[in-house]
Structure 1
Amino acid sequence: MTESEGTDEKSSGSKRKLNLVAFTGAAGLLGLAISLAIFAFTSHRGKSKKKGLPGCAVCVNLSPKEIIELADAIVAESTRVYDAVASVPLDRVSYENVVLPLAELEARQFPLIQSCMFPKMLAPEDTVRKTSAEVEQKIDAHILAWRKREDVYRAIKAYAARGELIAPEAKRYLQCLVKDFEHNGLDLTVTKREEVLRLRNEIDELSLQYVQNLNDDNSCLFFSEAELDGLPPELLESLDKTGNGEFKVTLESSHVAAILELCKIARTRRAVAMAYGKRCGDVNIAVLKKLVQSRHKLARLLGYANYANYALDRRMAKTSTKVIGFLEDISSSLTDLAIRELEILKDLKRKEEGEIPFGMEDLLYYIKRVEEQQFDLDFGDIRQHFPISLVLPGIFKISQDLFGLKIEEIAEIDVWHQDVRAFAVFDSGSGKLLGYFYLDMFTREGKFSHTCVVALQNNALFHNGTSQIPVSLLIAQFSKDVGGEPAPLGFSEVVSLFHEFGHVVQHICNRASFARFSGLHVDPDFVEIPSQVLENWCYESFTLKLMSGYRQDITKPLLDEVCKTLKRWRYSFSALKLLQEIFYCLFDQIIYSADDVNFLELIRSLHPKVMLGLPVLEGTNPASCFPRAAIGSEATCYSRIWSEVVAADIYASKFGDGDLNHYIGMQFRNKVLSPGGAKPALEILADFLGREPSTRAFIESRVKYSL
């Protein structure tokens, strides 16, 4: 998701121009945005006899030329607005000529920017995808440049200093604007600002180098067929073979995971686990050490004690101390259960292998073995109960019943591929249109390869009383059979689809007035919580039956016993699995909250402490092959566990019986989904729960369904 921003030389501040700014700061900006939307719409409308979504500025099926033209128009027109804001004399700044123009521009340009960018993920034509990717770089550079404009920052800061009484959401938006600039060092001296820029460039280079080293690693191992006993024939057939009949095993994560989970030979599992943990050895340790040091320097220049506190500043957790305390609390609360789980695995290993010490390389294999013994689940047969023609209407019904929605498919709409479908969402009580969403469900050549939700247009309310409604896009990767018909979904795919549709509901039910707080623009520690709450209904018998029916006889849903077993399987060895994740989260948090940490010493002391005495594999150093700590999730790896804990609390305390409680669902919609990022996340959750979130339900759910 990208916000609309701009850059150029500052305009002169003549009295004539000032008068123009006073007028165009709000009303004139509306004309600007409308002209952009009209440009985008008319540029592609003639290409198709089908219509676009009413009231939606998102454009589909743009040609490469049209994408470039639209991007140029976005940059040019937004630059004019930033120049106008910058030209306001500091003694004449007001909400109307500084804050409002930027807020409305951001809202109206967002769908136009997304029109340029989302084709890189989904357009059938390679030329369109390439042009979209190139334009994305141009727009991103434009955004970065305008956030470094000292003249715009001075105007914003001057207005903020007045301390005028404005609406809470407007005040929050103003605070975000100030932080946008100050995170780029605009409140620092020129010398320090240059150092911020140097450090950011250095951090980018080091992060990419760390990941590139892992991508370039071509380490491999060779094993005989006997040494790979337990692997499925189709996997063996996919491996290259040497002249002497050995199989070449690369250290691709898919191969490693399969061997650690399925291979019966302990020596093979250990060899693969050790090789995987040694990747990039000294070279990436040096890169990560430099990366951590540079991030600490950046954070301190910007006024933070360490990089972790900088990264957590806009999150629910706020401080590194709170994150570490949270992780240690979860770890200690699950220790007894994890010990019991580990003893089950050790007992089975002794029965099969004798008195050989249990190691980390045994964890996945013996979890899989115990699960096969404990759970009578045929996931191949379960798949046959989830044709997408039943799953999707089932998910729709659950969402509609819970949240008071009405979902209707839109026919004859302009789309970028024949498989794409579009839907309108209404409030079931008032009939008011709430938003739209697209579904692009099936794999195809050139398509983005991950399942996700993309915001295309955010909710926003404008100064003249008009508004725009949310539009979202759900991208999935489901397959079709040889006849071109949709293949039934595996259970994990059902859960994934339900999770992602939760983001669609979250986006469409958001009623924040500012686009900055609408859609999925919420606290990063909060953004996954609504979807994780909804995932729970994938494990309740009543709702599983709504989504299932045997492929050859759709009147036969999953059996009650299978539904109950799936719920127990969900929490199988959950304590041990979570402790392993907590180890990595603690490592990530510690290195970004303290100086000069010796990675290897930290790992050697932390691993057995968290993992019940199990040492890290000899010769390995996870710091060399832990990309989440290098780029993307640095100092924030804890966030998934954090949001799962809150989601478990919400479900247990409000929806714990598994019924589709419409009254509670509407409370969730109005109190949790509707505000979006317009209020602090903890305030939103406390309002809904009647208290601050607790870890109790998360712990109890794992203990309740333990083996």
Structure 2
Amino acid sequence: MTKSKRDRNNLLALTGAAALLAIAVNFAITAINAQKKKHKKKDLSGSNVLVNLSASEIHKLADRIIGKSKEVHDAVASIPLDKITYKNVILPLAELEAQQFPLVQSCVFPKLVSTSEDVRKASVASERRIDAHVSICSKREDVYRVVKAFVARGEWMSPEAKHYTQCLVRDFERNGLNLTLTKREELQRLKAQIDELSMRYIRNLNDDSTSLLFNETELLGLPPEFLKSLEKARTGKFKVTLRSHHVSPVLELCKVGLTRRVVAVSYGRRCEVNLSVLESLVKLRHKFARLLGYSNYADYAVDLRMAKSSSKVFEFLEDISAGLTDSASKEFTILKDLKKKEEGDFPFGIEDLPYYVKRAEEQQFDLDFAAVKQYFPVNLVLSGIFKICQDLFCFRIEEVADAEVWHCDVHLYSVFDLSSSELLGHFYLDMYSRDGKYGHTCVVALQNGSFVNSARQIPVALLISQFQKEVDGHPGLLRFSEVVNLFHEFGHVVHHICNNASFPKFSGLRLDPDFVEIPAQMLENWCYESLSLKLLSGFHQDITKPIKDEICKALKRWRCSFSALKLKQEILYCLFDQIIHSTENVDMVGLFKHLHQKVMLGLPMLEGTNPASCFLRSAIGYEAACYSRIWSEVFAADIFASKFRDDLFNQYAGMQFRKKVLAPGGAKDPVEILTDFLGREPSIQAFIDDKAAFGL
């Protein structure tokens, strides 16, 4: 999910702060009824999502959303402070949010999937307008004053309603509405400067067109098809650009150590001007955080996450790094021995890591991934994912016949509880490649589940991918990495559908970023166990023949091969990211050199490189939060090892996971959720043990 989309999701509730319920409901019903009259296909029970809107209809719907939002904000701003109650402020706000979210998404999701360029353009334009409007609404002091006055009254509410109200106040105050006007204006100036520098950092990287010239001998080991894809200079030498699609193959496959080093050094010293840009960015972020009452930017960024504080993140990363040291040292010894055999006594450098990891894996695992792919026809993989999730979480998936969709390849499904037959939600699958469609596998929440004031709204999700439907008349086949990715994303669909939070702000995928990936990461484990892999696989020419046991075992071992060293390298960047965003005036080059020696088992940083100048995740999008992927992977490993490893289809554990982990959404503290499910506080030990057991 993009940052702008996350921002819109977080602030959408403020668009209707204290609307009259009649206005909201009438607006939604009018739009939906108009769409129903237009289309003759089967009505989708419980869904307010509108599909197949024309470009003009998208623009008109966006106009109505923005118009009613402004009307609502004006209404709440006029409420006398002595008349404020839960029923005329907080409850209408929650009901309006539930109504508007699917309508907003009806404007937005066509940009990802529509076959019409005009519709995609209208969708993009409408999203920008809605986002800009939401941003304005989130800074309205008059609305904040009313919500804050309600909190001061101390009216009794349910715990979830209280948490919802606190989140509204928190979101306003993170926009500076509790500050003086002068400080608020300074906050906005800083935000504008941060945005401008962030975009400059990205532009500098995108504009870098540096290339290196090599002859064929210097590129020994690279496949002929890769060499054919390279441009040639007038001298006949091959041009290798400093882009990942060129650099990664060279570092992984080139047998010439000097070539690998030249490419790695050049790649690591790109855009040296970006060092000063990042230094300026970090200083501005610290100023921004201090205005909001935080001691540094890392504490501001982590405050709303499961980790809670920068110090907790440091402790987590240090503990993981220390736990991986023994395994990483053994892996490093193997790689150094391989280099000595192949290249003699040349010292092992960080640039050698990708090449010798791949060489070691080739020697240790008899895995031909082209042959493995033959066992994963896309439809068979999907049916296997459905079966595993249905068996594990006790629900039933049924396709909706004759549903209104935007392309003939799109299918709609309903999910029912197995014991009660209660409708839990719907999801669309838009699986196959076509022009103009979003190019990656992802899940989009179209309607969030909620139960506000006794009115239930069911969740609706969309899973998008770009798989080949058929190749030369045969069913499309998935690479193993695509199988894992599809299962991961379907895990997000399951999470969205099983959510049972009352307030839409806490439902679907609008959760703590440290927590939201944990269930999907946990479900990836079923892609590496023989019993479940056989349900996902079948030889494409005879699907009754599942993948062989020896391949399953090899895939499980391959998953964690040399993972300790790889993870230490990622931890190095995560620590760098945390330190620069929690400490003032850091010498970034000196810091990285120090961390590299400490974390990477004494292996020095490549001389002359400057990772801070090309560390995009810390510059924009994941600043002070690079640790989050490892965080979710660690706690997902704890859940799987504790509850499912010895019994993959334990329905009791599956239902407990559904009720205790998936259902609460953002209404409950994530640490409490995991502690309740595990019967103890979550631990890093299972993750460490996995790397030690399977890494070598």
Tell me the SS of whatever aligns to 2:397.
strand
* Residue of structure 1 equivalent to 2:357: 367
* Residue of structure 1 equivalent to 2:690: 701
* Residue of structure 2 equivalent to 1:16: none
* Residue of structure 1 equivalent to 2:290: 300
Deviates more, 1:307-316 or 1:412-421: 412-421
Q: 1:193 aligns with which of 166, 180, 184?
A: 184
Alpha-carbon offset, residue 121 of structure 1 = 1.1
The 2-side partners of 1:170 and 1:80 are apart by 24
* Residue of structure 2 equivalent to 1:81: 72
Q: 1:228 aligns with which of 192, 206, 219?
A: 219
Tell me the SS of whatever aligns to 2:431.
strand
* Residue of structure 1 equivalent to 2:530: 541
Answering whether residue 110 of structure 2 is matched by residue 102 of structure 1, we say no
Alpha-carbon offset, residue 227 of structure 1 = 1.2
* Structure 2 residue ranges without an equivalent (≥5): none
Answering whether residue 430 of structure 2 is matched by residue 436 of structure 1, we say no
- Identical-pair percentage: 63
* Residue of structure 1 equivalent to 2:276: 286
Q: 1:114 aligns with which of 100, 105, 110?
A: 105
Answering whether residue 322 of structure 2 is matched by residue 332 of structure 1, we say yes
The 2-side partners of 1:483 and 1:127 are apart by 32
The 2-side partners of 1:408 and 1:152 are apart by 44
Q: 1:490 aligns with which of 449, 472, 479?
A: 479
Alpha-carbon offset, residue 244 of structure 1 = 2.4
Answering whether residue 656 of structure 2 is matched by residue 667 of structure 1, we say yes
* Residue of structure 2 equivalent to 1:472: 461
Answering whether residue 343 of structure 2 is matched by residue 356 of structure 1, we say no
Alpha-carbon offset, residue 461 of structure 1 = 1.1
Answering whether residue 266 of structure 2 is matched by residue 266 of structure 1, we say no
Letter in structure 2 aligned against 1:492? S
Contact map agreement 2:14 2:168 (CA 8 A) in 1 = no
Letter in structure 1 aligned against 2:584? D
Deviation per CA, 1:266-305: give whole Å up to 9, x if none: 1111111111111101x10111011000000010000001
Deviation per CA, 1:303-337: give whole Å up to 9, x if none: 00100000011111111111011101110111111
* Residue of structure 2 equivalent to 1:461: 451
Answering whether residue 629 of structure 2 is matched by residue 629 of structure 1, we say no
Answering whether residue 395 of structure 2 is matched by residue 395 of structure 1, we say no
Contact map agreement 1:88 1:97 (CA 8 A) in 2 = no
Alpha-carbon offset, residue 482 of structure 1 = 4.1
Letter in structure 1 aligned against 2:381? V
Alpha-carbon offset, residue 389 of structure 1 = 1.9
Tell me the SS of whatever aligns to 1:435.
strand
Alpha-carbon offset, residue 43 of structure 1 = 4.4
Contact map agreement 1:218 1:250 (CA 8 A) in 2 = yes
Answering whether residue 18 of structure 2 is matched by residue 55 of structure 1, we say no
Give the RMSD, CA atoms, in angstroms. 1.4
Tell me the SS of whatever aligns to 1:525.
helix
The 2-side partners of 1:397 and 1:7 are apart by 40
Q: 2:586 aligns with which of 597, 617, 621?
A: 597
Contact map agreement 2:380 2:538 (CA 8 A) in 1 = yes
Answering whether residue 681 of structure 2 is matched by residue 692 of structure 1, we say yes
Contact map agreement 1:454 1:474 (CA 8 A) in 2 = yes
Answering whether residue 62 of structure 2 is matched by residue 68 of structure 1, we say no
Letter in structure 2 aligned against 1:182? E
Tell me the SS of whatever aligns to 1:615.
coil
* Structure 1 residue ranges without an equivalent (≥5): 9-20
Answering whether residue 155 of structure 2 is matched by residue 164 of structure 1, we say yes
Contact map agreement 1:7 1:145 (CA 8 A) in 2 = no
Letter in structure 1 aligned against 2:572? F
Contact map agreement 1:43 1:66 (CA 8 A) in 2 = no
The 1-side partners of 2:34 and 2:283 are apart by 49
Tell me the SS of whatever aligns to 1:526.
helix
Alpha-carbon offset, residue 478 of structure 1 = 1.1
Letter in structure 2 aligned against 1:411? A
The 2-side partners of 1:327 and 1:673 are apart by 26
Question: Pairwise mapping of residues 175-186 of structure 1 onto structure 2 (< 5 A)?
Answer: 175-186=166-177
Tell me the SS of whatever aligns to 1:455.
strand
Answering whether residue 404 of structure 2 is matched by residue 414 of structure 1, we say yes
The 2-side partners of 1:362 and 1:483 are apart by 40
Alpha-carbon offset, residue 33 of structure 1 = 3.1
* Residue of structure 2 equivalent to 1:92: 83
Alpha-carbon offset, residue 352 of structure 1 = 0.5
The 2-side partners of 1:41 and 1:166 are apart by 32
Tell me the SS of whatever aligns to 1:88.
coil
The 1-side partners of 2:452 and 2:72 are apart by 16
The 2-side partners of 1:32 and 1:467 are apart by 19
The 1-side partners of 2:508 and 2:287 are apart by 33
Tell me the SS of whatever aligns to 1:365.
helix
Contact map agreement 1:537 1:658 (CA 8 A) in 2 = no
Contact map agreement 2:427 2:493 (CA 8 A) in 1 = yes
The 2-side partners of 1:664 and 1:658 are apart by 9
Deviation per CA, 1:433-479: give whole Å up to 9, x if none: 0000011111221111121111000011121x221100001111212
Letter in structure 2 aligned against 1:610? V
Letter in structure 1 aligned against 2:688? I
* Residue of structure 2 equivalent to 1:17: none
The 2-side partners of 1:334 and 1:409 are apart by 45
* Residue of structure 2 equivalent to 1:510: 499
Alpha-carbon offset, residue 625 of structure 1 = 0.2
* Residue of structure 2 equivalent to 1:343: 333
Deviation per CA, 1:471-500: give whole Å up to 9, x if none: 001111212444465411111000000000
Deviates more, 1:205-214 or 1:499-508: 205-214
Letter in structure 2 aligned against 1:168? P
Contact map agreement 1:424 1:436 (CA 8 A) in 2 = yes
Alpha-carbon offset, residue 223 of structure 1 = 0.9
Tell me the SS of whatever aligns to 2:515.
coil
Contact map agreement 1:45 1:51 (CA 8 A) in 2 = no
Q: 1:155 aligns with which of 146, 149, 154?
A: 146
* Residue of structure 2 equivalent to 1:249: 240
The 2-side partners of 1:456 and 1:577 are apart by 36
Answering whether residue 583 of structure 2 is matched by residue 587 of structure 1, we say no
Answering whether residue 667 of structure 2 is matched by residue 678 of structure 1, we say yes
The 2-side partners of 1:462 and 1:447 are apart by 35
When normalised by structure 1's length, the TM-score is 0.95
The 2-side partners of 1:668 and 1:318 are apart by 23
When normalised by structure 2's length, the TM-score is 0.97
Deviation per CA, 1:7-47: give whole Å up to 9, x if none: 79xxxxxxxxxxxx9xxx67x51x33333333433444455
The 2-side partners of 1:523 and 1:430 are apart by 30
* Residue of structure 1 equivalent to 2:303: 313
The 1-side partners of 2:82 and 2:37 are apart by 48
Contact map agreement 1:6 1:75 (CA 8 A) in 2 = no
The 2-side partners of 1:488 and 1:482 are apart by 8
The 1-side partners of 2:422 and 2:640 are apart by 28
The 2-side partners of 1:42 and 1:159 are apart by 35
Deviates more, 1:110-119 or 1:92-101: 92-101
Letter in structure 1 aligned against 2:431? M
